[in-house]
Structure 1
């Protein structure tokens, strides 16, 4: 038995006794796409030989249409068959062509239109160095493709399904049957779903019609059967409080079993718990069996309402859909969720992907000031994102207003003693990090690299979002200097500041710099700020930061005034740098208490310079968002300086142009008193009062 199990992964690499030539262990190399967010940090998914474990966020590789999928063999190879598994979590399909590289030329092997799921190409045996799949169109709105696996063979019978495809088909059958034994809802299954007569009756019920079933002979409802949004729903009255006269299920302690497509197989189960006995829901378990965003395996989401405001997730026909549901969910205040998938190898619900995702409201105003997201599988975490509303300016009208995020890469192993599991109707979840201790715990882990992203313009939105929603997930980074994007959609680069600590020497800490009135990542070796002052989606200026003496602090600023990649000015070790004080760990109160005065002082200094330029600040700092106000003022001052320099040079007044340059340089260095003194001298020279 043991030996036969060991042979399974080996056999799936063969076709007719011939090896899969595209496998990474055999030396084949993939170029073009990158792994999905749930598989970041793992070998390329597209040639790992795995076709049973994938879903909407893991187990596949994706790329843009102008980034074709290429698999290059270690040496010239003869093949006559290529298998391609396209992501099939929905009915997406693609127009594509398969090409073979012979020498330096790519030759067309076959073209397909509206291909989806498993695609097999059979051809005359040909010798080639690589295969390429070029995607030219598809049914999705975006011009991107999603590939689970590519396999290549030289087989005596290419018309016979490969063991790889057989494994995929077997997983599809298992998926179709569903994990009914995992649910602990046998009463509902026996009484309705597995009884043809009872289920036929349930399907005939009208929308909103309810009937009840007494399973224990006590003459009150144990099961309530209803039709809701076109689905057959059976509710287990776990708290035994449903009235007989008008059987009304509740959402505090009952379990809802939902069949979306009326085929007799439950697709969703919602198990709700009133943990504190106050008559409302405190915890929810959402099981996804079919038509979900977990792909081929049963999925489970644990949701906690720690602030007891009786708001959790909004669903669209018993399903969470990011586009339609996210802005109606409660991801603010003290809330949290963690995702689990059922692993058939261990027969356990293992934490996966966003496991957990927590939100914290340390000042009790009902709004989240901190968002913590771990990404990984089981106890092994690949990434952390820890976001803060550093200036504490979120409002009821704009409940999400994160300013910065620290993103850290693993892998790291969560110590078993830190973890807990939650009982389910059948068994328990796998271990996960609890909400109560997660903030302190993640700062003790040996992360390998850390990235700070700061939203300078107070505009944390997806650049593609026409509605311009401030993101609820926190600040989601774009790729930077070899550091990958973690999650999505990314906030972009423009008007964002990125700082990289390539060895996590700063241990997730921040420090204040009086030079620019900002908080920086302690231990960062480099940083970049892209400035788009006129919001035309093109960088106007770039500031580069460097730590030249490896003391964990930036001491060199490189100013690229035309964003051409070449700095026009550099200043090092400015006197305003001074002593940054204690590097702060990630505690929202400490960060807020350090940042708010720094921000307010910075705004006052800029306002004084603006007034000296005869461009006084017309908006009270108390009437607007401080970060957005500072950002606008900084850009206006810089524009005024550049204008003064240009006008003076045009008038052949080199001395005045140099004077403006000196004032600008002092201002950029944080030497505001010197800037004001020099500005006064320029004003007196010009004969102005």
Structure 2
């Protein structure tokens, strides 16, 4: 009996608690220290207004409020809204938010079901700054295309009503859908400042998932940089407009496919082309379910995007051929993440052909770009695109290089203390002292043949190696990315890493032959992945090379020094066993 009474009291208390939670004065997730992933519903007791815009007796819009009594308007763009609904749906409807309560809806979120399967395939966000502040870089016009059908789109922080597409969990699990087979289109301005809403600046950003694990192993970014347009300016638009011509692309690759939950983005290198480019105005994609009722146009700062019947951009299947077959590029850049710490969704950010020793954002050094790794990457630059983006594996170091590059620079960050995050401000201070290796093509044949080392960090090269003076041929077999796919790049890096590790094992055998103790470098002798074979194999060879160099110098053995240099810079350790 006592147990029954106790249970009844407990149940009564639970029910009372539930009843208490059923009559809140506001939506539960407001200003809390947990993420805000949805628009907060109106407070209890608030009665939304239902608008019949076309006079057919059915509601076409819900006028309501959200957090802090901010006015919102839901537009029914597919005819299924009913009285009693607190919000629209997320397959075809459109949300408008008046963030500063000035009577202007300055944040718009539009969903569209493009293929008629009942689920949104497109989410468009139009973000309008205050009048007088519009124009680059204020505002956003961003479209996320759900090409893999996972229902994930962009991220808005509904506590502050702002687009925060860089927000993430952990290292690189971004809330905006950059994972898998997906795409987005974006520009940092508002639609009312753009002349043609069919085209864009990042047009598009494509993500590829060739192994189907829901993560991105490759990303292609296509830029249509705005150019001066006096006629558009005279018509009241932005002075600079996109023109339907791509003039900058980057291709980022996870060469060893080691991305995984907790390490969602691990691109290893980026190949990029600048200037010239290609026209893409024939790359048209039909849009459905964008229009909505014309009677609702009066609610928009700029209703033109609702009237779009197409978007124009290079899509997943076409982008590669357009880049390599149609592109008339003027420059090619290549960067490799040697310390393996890139965790951005875009790419390994480029180093630029600037000062090897100046360091810091906008300081005029190779890491001048604010998103670049201040130390740890290797950049190479073909400033006349003479090599057409072709690559090769250099015998002098066993690494992938850019054919046609006039020079390159590796800023060493052996322990990955300084990393490429999604904002340099999060990375901490740049190193004051760092090692640098510079590569130069002195004979202009497209292959790097001089290597200079500043290993003590005094910003002066203390060692210079000339392949020509060693009697070594710098020419190597060319690799043409135009004819490759992701699997081909995987095979390439597997071969590179395998050869690097094979060379390291040969170096160990040579060191033991000459009486050197190699267990000092035991850390590099047990690689557990393809990437570690690449990294550990390089460093193990380098340390053994330098130890042998010191040994032969102590012995005043000039002949062995010359043989050693030839062996190391031709990846021919076996020549030292003869």
TM-score w.r.t. the length of structure 2 is 0.69
Match of 1:450 in 2: 332
Q: Do the aligned residues in 1 keep the contact of 2:339 with 2:416 (CA within 8 Å)?
A: no
Match of 2:414 in 1: 533
Alignment RMSD (CA, Å): 3.8
Match of 1:175 in 2: none
**Structure with higher RCO (Cα < 8 A, 6+ apart):** 2
CA shift, 1:449, in A, is 1.0
Picking from 499, 502, 512, the partner of 2:383 is: 502
The answer to whether the aligner puts 1:278 opposite 2:117 as a matched pair is yes
Q: Do the aligned residues in 1 keep the contact of 2:450 with 2:465 (CA within 8 Å)?
A: no
- Which blocks of at least 5 consecutive residues in structure 2 are unaligned? 1-39, 226-241, 291-304, 356-363, 418-430, 512-517
Match of 2:196 in 1: 348
CA spacing shift, 1:237–1:352, aligned 2, 3 Å: closer
Match of 2:494 in 1: 596
CA spacing shift, 1:456–1:574, aligned 2, 3 Å: farther
CA shift, 1:319, in A, is 2.2
The answer to whether the aligner puts 1:388 opposite 2:253 as a matched pair is yes
Match of 1:673 in 2: 574
Picking from 103, 107, 110, the partner of 1:268 is: 107
CA spacing shift, 1:204–1:538, aligned 2, 3 Å: closer
Within a 5 Å distance, the mapping from 1:242-391 to structure 2 comes to 242-290=81-129, 295=136, 299-317=140-158, 318-321=161-164, 324=167, 327-340=174-187, 341=189, 347-349=195-197, 351-375=199-223, 376=225, 377-391=242-256
Whichever structure has more strand as a proportion of its residues is: 1
CA spacing shift, 1:501–1:548, aligned 2, 3 Å: same
CA shift, 1:219, in A, is 6.2
Picking from 439, 453, 456, the partner of 1:545 is: 439
Q: CA offsets per residue over residues 328-384 of structure 1, 9 Å max, x none?
A: 222121111112556768743264432322212223222212212222122244422
Q: Do the aligned residues in 1 keep the contact of 2:42 with 2:66 (CA within 8 Å)?
A: no
CA spacing shift, 1:570–1:495, aligned 2, 3 Å: farther
CA shift, 1:234, in A, is 1.4
Cα separation, 1, equivalents of 2:65 and 2:176: 24
Within a 5 Å distance, the mapping from 1:558-597 to structure 2 comes to 558-562=452-456, 564-572=460-468, 579-585=476-482, 587-597=485-495
Q: Do the aligned residues in 2 keep the contact of 1:342 with 1:348 (CA within 8 Å)?
A: no
CA spacing shift, 1:474–1:571, aligned 2, 3 Å: same
Picking from 500, 504, 507, the partner of 1:609 is: 507
Q: Do the aligned residues in 1 keep the contact of 2:277 with 2:329 (CA within 8 Å)?
A: yes
CA spacing shift, 1:519–1:347, aligned 2, 3 Å: closer
Q: Do the aligned residues in 1 keep the contact of 2:286 with 2:311 (CA within 8 Å)?
A: yes
Picking from 610, 623, 639, the partner of 2:528 is: 623
SS state at 1:394 partner: coil
TM-score w.r.t. the length of structure 1 is 0.59
CA shift, 1:310, in A, is 1.2
Q: CA offsets per residue over residues 90-133 of structure 1, 9 Å max, x none?
A: xxxxxxxxxxxxxxxxxxxxxxxxxxxxxxxxxxxxxxxxxxxx
Within a 5 Å distance, the mapping from 1:15-94 to structure 2 comes to none
Cα separation, 2, equivalents of 1:229 and 1:581: 60
The answer to whether the aligner puts 1:229 opposite 2:67 as a matched pair is yes
CA shift, 1:643, in A, is 4.9
CA spacing shift, 1:342–1:229, aligned 2, 3 Å: closer
The answer to whether the aligner puts 1:476 opposite 2:341 as a matched pair is no
Q: CA offsets per residue over residues 437-459 of structure 1, 9 Å max, x none?
A: 12221222111111111111211
- Which blocks of at least 5 consecutive residues in structure 1 are unaligned? 1-202, 461-469, 679-689
CA shift, 1:425, in A, is 1.2
Range moving further from structure 2, 258-267 or 234-243: 234-243
Cα separation, 2, equivalents of 1:294 and 1:621: 55
SS state at 1:436 partner: helix
CA spacing shift, 1:628–1:343, aligned 2, 3 Å: same
